Amino acid sequence: MVVKRKFFFAWHEDKEIEYLNRMSEQGLQLVKYNLFKYTFEEREERNFYQFDFRTFDNVSDEEYLQLYEDGGMDFVCKYGGWYIFSSKDEEVKKIYNDNASLRERYKRILLFLALTGFPLYYQVLILYPSLTLESKIYSVVRIILTVLLPIHLFVVVRFLAMYRKTFNKISE
Amino acid sequence: MNKFSPLTESMYYILVALSQPLHGYGIIKKVEELSSGRLRLAAGTLYGALTNLEKNKLIEAVGIDPDNKRRKLYVITSEGKDLVNYEIKRLSEMVENGKKEGYDGC
């Protein structure tokens, strides 16, 4: 087992996939992912990776994973709403084959961001200005959340831009 | 007018393939065969489409594959058939009009 720590922004999916594909070429196959931590197994084979995102759409894991397996993709691991798949065949590496379904995918990510963002924005923008500081711990939490807010906003803007791009394509 | 029209190519072919009960993998194979290998449904697109079509009662689950319990079998409903027929009429009109205006599809 080889563990590597690496950081990728969520919208840099392509780079992350490229990284995993490169590792696979060098004989390191992904088996597990945990916050910035990639666990690889040493095996000589060639895998091509793809990510899917599902959270609130009531995925029945069994049926979902079976369908992907039938489509030529092996389930590697799950992290939060992210599902990582690998395929031996470069030809079947795409998870979506039309614009309509790609758009749905971006919508799911944006919905997730909106729901997670709500408490953050509420605290920083509405609750904090009306509170006076009491404890030290609370002020640390306050600083962390205040830093998180612009990052969250940035992620939302990036995904909105990617979502909008799918509208500029003429083909469905 | 049918409120689900126009369908994407993937959705149309999934409905067409489901004239008989099939599971996900069966649909991928059938569509590939119908389109002479041109359209290969990607797993994510198919899964999303099946969920959507079922939610809108255009297809229904009719059981599970006896060989593999994790594969659900789907078939088209009468609403789904109406939609396919509507699309066939619409698409034929599109083809006819193209030809009438001098395009021959080559």
B70: nearest CB among A63, A98, A172: A63
Please name the helix (run of DSSP H) or strand (run of DSSP E) that holds residue A80, with its range, or none: none
Structure confidence at residue B59 as a pLDDT band (50, 70, 90): very high
Instruction: Give the architecture-level CATH label for domain B9-100.
Output: Orthogonal Bundle (1.10)
Q: What is the pLDDT of residues B8-40, one digit of tens each?
A: 999 999 999 999 999 999 999 999 999 999 998
- What is the model's pLDDT at position B106? 84
Distance from CA of A53 to the nearest CA of B (A): 10
B44: nearest CB among A70, A101, A172: A101
Q: Which residue of A has its CA nearest to B6?
A: A172
What's the ipTM?
0.80
Q: Average of pLDDT values for B60-66? A: 92
- What is the model's pLDDT at position B26? 94
Domain-wise residue ranges, chain A = 2-92, 99-165
Mean pLDDT of chain B: 94
The contacts of residue A73 (CB under 8 Å, 6+ apart) are A50, A85, A86, A87, A92, A95, B43
For the entire predicted model, the pTM comes to 0.84
CA A52, B84, B39, A161: dihedral to nearest 10 degrees?
-40
If phi over 0 gives left and psi between -120 and 50 gives alpha, with beta otherwise, what is residue A36?
left
The ranges of chain A with pLDDT < 50 are none
DSSP collapsed to 3 states, B49-106: HHHHHHHCCCEEEEEEECCEEEEEEEEECHHHHHHHHHHHHHHHHHHHHHHHCCCCCC
- What is the model's pLDDT at position A56? 66
| Two structure tokens written together for B10 | 């993937």
Q: Which residue of A has its CA nearest to B28?
A: A71
- What is the model's pLDDT at position B80? 97
Domain-wise residue ranges, chain B = 9-100
- What is the model's pLDDT at position A12? 84
CB < 8 Å to B40, chain A? 92, 97
CB < 8 Å to B71, chain A? 63, 66-67, 70
Q: Average of pLDDT values for B67-84? A: 94
- What is the model's pLDDT at position A98? 87
If phi over 0 gives left and psi between -120 and 50 gives alpha, with beta otherwise, what is residue A83?
beta
